[in-house]
Amino acid sequence: MIDVYDMALAGLLHDVGKVMQRAEVEIGRDKYEEYCPTFKGVPSHQHVMWTRLFFDSLLSKPGRDWERIANLAASHHNASAFANQSDPEYWLIQCLINADRVSANWDRPDEDEVSPRGAYKKKELLSIFTDVFLGNPMPEQLALPLMPSEASEAVFPRQPDPESLKCKEYMALYEGFRVEFGNLLNALGSGMITLPTWWTPQNRCWRSIFGACLPTPWKRRPPIRCFTTAASRQASPACFTTTSPPDRRSGNN
């Protein structure tokens, strides 16, 4: 049965597939297309396939029902991939979907549907310093390098490079997170840390690898980090889950 910790995991990791997609991690699309909604007759929001692929590497890990968490996280754009509307657990995927929509100001078209093909693989996080006026002219835009936030040069903005693919940089970020996340799961499975205390190092891992530099796919000023929206989508569905399921008999949804 899905519990509050499972919901928090699904909420935090539901968009990890975006990093893998930008890194061009190999994937068998036919195996995972069921998680995609359709847009103009073709699968859209395809990052959910990579999210499901990420969880596939966790299925043998002890402690959680990773198959259920995987289906939950990968279905956040297509509820029917998780459960039918008549299923008693259908409300769980609605918790995640609504948390995602609230955090993102409602559901958006996939980035490939509103921008040139492959443009999301060139994205950088724009620095907020271009919005700060200190009396001297500032460059029109500055960007942060795609690297872990613990790197000393990660905090210094530079001239953006909007034309080159960033697949190698995204792959380095993903591999770093995959290794660190695996180490944390091993520590959890061995009993070195307990599940309630596991969240602090787990969030620190996510923030250090992705938090400083990973941009959200949509244009917004000031720019928003993926970690910011992932953190809110971790907390919101977990809070929703602690409430009672909607009473369909009374019509209260």
Q: Roughly what angle, to the nearest 10 degrees, separates helices 167-190 and 195-206?
A: 170
**pTM of the model as a whole:** 0.81
Lowest mean pLDDT among 32-36, 151-155, 199-203, 215-219: 215-219
Domain boundaries, the chain: 4-241
| Cβ count near 104 (within 10 Å) | 17
pLDDT, tens digit, 9 for 90 and up, residues 119-156: 888 878 777 776 776 777 666 778 888 887 766 676 78
Q: Which residues contact 140 (CB under 8 A, 6 or more apart)?
A: 130
Cα 246 from Cα 47, distance rounded (Å): 30
Examine the pLDDT at 78 and tell me if it is beyond 80. Answer: yes
Cα 206 from Cα 104, distance rounded (Å): 19
